[in-house]
Amino acid sequence: MPLVTSTEMFKKAYEGGYAIGAFNVNNMEIIQGITEAAKEVNAPLILQVSAGARKYAKHVYLMKLIEAAIIDTDLPICVHLDHGEDFEVCKSCIDGGFTSVMIDGSKYPLKENIRLTKQVVDYAHSKGVVVEGELGKLAGIEDNINVSDKDAAFTDPDEVEQFVKETGVDSLAIAIGTSHGAFKFKGEPRLRFDILEEVGKRLPGFPIVLHGASSVIPEYVEKINKYGGNMPGAQGVPEEMLRKAASMSVCKINIDSDLRLAMTAGIREHFALNPADFDPRKYLGPARSMIKELVKNKLVNVLGCDGKA
Ligand code: G3H
Ligand code: 13P
Ligand code: ZN
């Protein structure tokens, strides 16, 4: 099976009230852990690559590893650029075989975001590649911003129809209170489902994307802290909120931090119990198994995309 775009995946996910998992990949063990889990539960996948991942592993290595995963699993897999920051990086990924790119113009005023996003869409569509845009800025808890500034960071539903119509994007990332990383909320987790609902009304049938959607699973944080780590106050998006978003118009849920935590917990535990080990297979193997277990649980119990490949 060749690489696919996310078009069919999103259509089925929207109609079925579930979401596709978009997992960040950086190396072989991460790709194998994710794709082996998806194979076992027959789930479609989006594997996403950040600029940092391309710099770390090199574009060609990641492409070839993903091609190998397709041969190994025969699953529908979409390879996506995560947070493309300008036209050049999007073009480089499109020319280099990606089937989907994100152009993240969310830091610009609306007019410039539309201009840049449309430029990427025009090029991508001429090559059969799909595009994710973003409206609204994901807040970081470390920003220590006050409520009115915070409100300004949420996506404004009044802008979404114009943005989608004028850019021609295939999916839209919105800001409803999630943020990247392992420290998402100071107190009670709260997401603006009212904004998601309003966006859904303005864009019927249109796939919405949720970034910053790791749950920061306590079991992994506890293990990291138990074996020498230091992550007090780590907190993520509760799984029931992700299920609710998936049942609404959210078709793509982005997960990176949970993969990092699972892998780190596996490696820390391994060295705590086997301090004399120095064979990378002995600690990367358990890390890969932790990722596989995590992803399987997400696909089946949170995203609901098992059996949909
Ligand atoms: O949204 C960001 C992703 O977690 C990727 O992070 O840029 O460190 O690879 P990265
Ligand atoms: P997390 O940091 O919550 O995993 O979010 C990842 C993400 O949004 C990648 O684009
Ligand atoms: Zn993101």
In the set 74, 82, 122, 156, the catalytic residue is 82
Residue 181 in contact with ligand 2 by CB distance below 6 A? yes
* pLDDT higher than 90, residue 302: yes
pLDDT of amino acid 140: 60
Query: What are 82-138's pLDDT values in tens digits?
Result: 999 999 999 999 999 999 999 999 999 999 999 999 999 999 999 999 999 999 998
* Residue nearest to ligand 2 atom 9, measured at CA: 254
Burial 255-293 (b: 16+ CB within 10 A, else e): bbbbbbbbbbbbbbbbeeeeeeeeeeeebbebbbebbbe
When pLDDT is averaged across residues 254-277 and rounded to a whole number, the result is 97
At CA 255, angle to CA 224 and CA 249, rounded to 5? 145
* pLDDT higher than 70, residue 151: no
Ligand 2 centroid – CA 274 distance (Å)? 31
Q: What's the one-letter identity of residue 189?
A: P
**Do 69 and 302 form a contact (C-beta atoms < 8 A)?**
no
Fold of the 7-303 domain: TIM Barrel (3.20.20)
Q: What's the one-letter identity of residue 149?
A: D
Q: What percent of the chain has pLDDT over 70?
A: 95
CA-24 nearest atom, ligand 2: 9
Among 87, 91, 44, 86, which residue's Cα sits nearest to residue 69?
A: 44
Ligand 3 centroid – CA 278 distance (Å)? 34
d(C-alpha 19, C-alpha 303), whole Å = 5
* pLDDT higher than 90, residue 12: yes
Query: What are 117-128's pLDDT values in tens digits?
Result: 999 999 999 999
pLDDT of amino acid 198: 98
Radius of gyration of the chain (CA): 19
Q: What percent of the chain has pLDDT over 90?
A: 94
Cα dihedral 223/227/228/234 (nearest 10): 0
When pLDDT is averaged across residues 219-230 and rounded to a whole number, the result is 97
Which band of pLDDT confidence, cut at 50, 70 and 90, is reported for residue 149?
A: low
Domain assignments of the chain as residue spans, ordered by start: 7-303
pLDDT of amino acid 301: 98
Burial 6-28 (b: 16+ CB within 10 A, else e): beebbeebbeeebbbbbbbbbbb
* Residue nearest to ligand 2 atom 1, measured at CA: 212
* pLDDT higher than 90, residue 163: yes
* pLDDT higher than 70, residue 150: no
Ligand 1 centroid – CA 30 distance (Å)? 14
Query: What are 17-42's pLDDT values in tens digits?
Result: 999 999 999 999 999 999 999 999 99
pLDDT of amino acid 157: 98
CA-258 nearest atom, ligand 2: 4
Active site residue 82: yes
Which band of pLDDT confidence, cut at 50, 70 and 90, is reported for residue 147?
A: very low
**In this structure, which ligand is nearest to the CA of 214?**
2
Query: What are 175-216's pLDDT values in tens digits?
Result: 999 999 999 998 999 999 999 999 999 999 999 999 999 999
Ligand 3 centroid – CA 275 distance (Å)? 35
pLDDT of amino acid 300: 98
* Residue nearest to ligand 2 atom 5, measured at CA: 212
* Residue nearest to ligand 1 atom 3, measured at CA: 256
**In this structure, which ligand is nearest to the CA of 216?**
2
Ligand 1 centroid – CA 163 distance (Å)? 25
* Residue nearest to ligand 1 atom 4, measured at CA: 256
